Structure 1
């Protein structure tokens, strides 16, 4: 359940990508503008660890957020938020690129927005 995304501006590594080890806590490592030391024997800087903690499991938070979005449209006559469609689209682009890379023998794939 690990995922590592490597791009031109950095890397992202998640150990428990699909189902977190703990219901209310998840972590990931991120690095940007990474480089090697002068002798190319080690990384210039270590990735930073980020820990996200919540009082509720992710499934409860997803249903709560969806309910909030629907209620805002239905009962407050607000327009749909643009945040989630953009995040969903970017997530799908990354997953499609991973699948394409696998299908092409693990070749690098350029992601186009």
Structure 2
């Protein structure tokens, strides 16, 4: 699944938005015309499960408070997905991202 986001300060293009096509430990994206590669030791799915396990362990085992960034990150992710869906439903026309 490809994703292209166009904004006032440039473009972002991802060839493998849902999952890396070139390997489990590497993904590429393009900002403007520059290619960037992100590498990891584990596949993104495993990293998500590891992060969740660490957060739960910190709260249950060490009495830490939940990190405040996750509700914000989750909301921003959902906003982007809502805009992509709205664009598809409107025949792939441009849709602005709300707050």
TM-score exceeds 0.5:
yes
Spell out, residue by residue over 1:50-69, the C-alpha distance to the aligned partner (whole angstroms, 9 max, x if none).
Answer: 11111111111111000001
CA distance in 2, matches of 1:16, 1:104: 23
2:30 corresponds to: 29
**Structure 1 partner of 2:78:** 92
**1:85 and 1:11 mapped to 2: Cα distance?**
26
Q: In structure 2, what is the equivalent of residue 77 of structure 1?
A: 63
Cα distance between partner residues in 2 of 1:54 and 1:8: 30
Highest RCO, 1 vs 2 (Cα 8 Å, sep ≥ 6): 1
1:104 aligns with 2:59: no
SS of residue in 1 equivalent to 2:66:
coil
SS of the aligned residue for 1:93 comes to helix
Alpha-carbon distance in 1 for matches of 2:92, 2:41: 39
Runs (5+) with no aligned partner, structure 1: 32-46
Taking the TM superposition and a 5 Å limit, the aligned residue runs for 1:31-70 are 31=32, 47-70=33-56
Larger radius of gyration: 1
The TM-score with structure 2 as length reference comes to: 0.89
Matched with 2:7 is 7
- Please report the TM-score for the alignment, with normalisation by the length of structure 1: 0.79
Counterpart of 1:36 in structure 2 is none
The aligned length equals 98
Gaps of 5+ in 2: none
